[in-house]
């Protein structure tokens, strides 16, 4: 079966390899299977949701991870405190 390549509304690419298993989302940075999504709040109750593997994510709390774009003190603070809104 061929792999399907879907482009999300935010421009992120999702690869789906259909072999009777669950769709696998690849890491945004290196393409490995992901373990987390970025928890940075982007407003309206949504989060950045950038998919990341164990190696590429930055853990900032018990159930909080940020992508490399949001791995800075300001964004980490917002993520830990639920955003500005």
Interacting residues with Zn ion (CB under 5 A): 27, 29-30, 32, 38, 40, 48, 50, 53, 56, 67, 70
Tokens of 10: 């935010």
| In the complex, minimum distance from the CB of residue 59 to Zn ion, in angstroms, rounded to a whole number | 13
| 78, containing H or E segment | helix 73-80
| In the complex, minimum distance from the CB of residue 37 to Zn ion, in angstroms, rounded to a whole number | 8
DSSP track, 35-50: SEE---EEETTEE---
Cβ contact 65:57 at 8 Å? yes
Cβ proximity to Zn ion, 20 vs 36, nearer residue = 36
Cβ proximity to Zn ion, 2 vs 74, nearer residue = 74
């Amino acid at each position: 079966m061929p792999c399907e390549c879907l482009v999300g509304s935010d421009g992120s690419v999702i690869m789906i390899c259909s072999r009777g298993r669950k769709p696998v989302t690849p890491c945004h940075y290196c393409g490995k299977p992901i373990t987390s999504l970025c928890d940075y709040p982007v407003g309206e109750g949504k989060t950045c949701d950038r998919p990341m593997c164990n190696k590429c994510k930055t853990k900032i709390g018990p159930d909080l991870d940020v992508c490399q774009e949001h791995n800075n003190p300001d964004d980490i603070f917002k993520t830990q405190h639920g955003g500005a809104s």
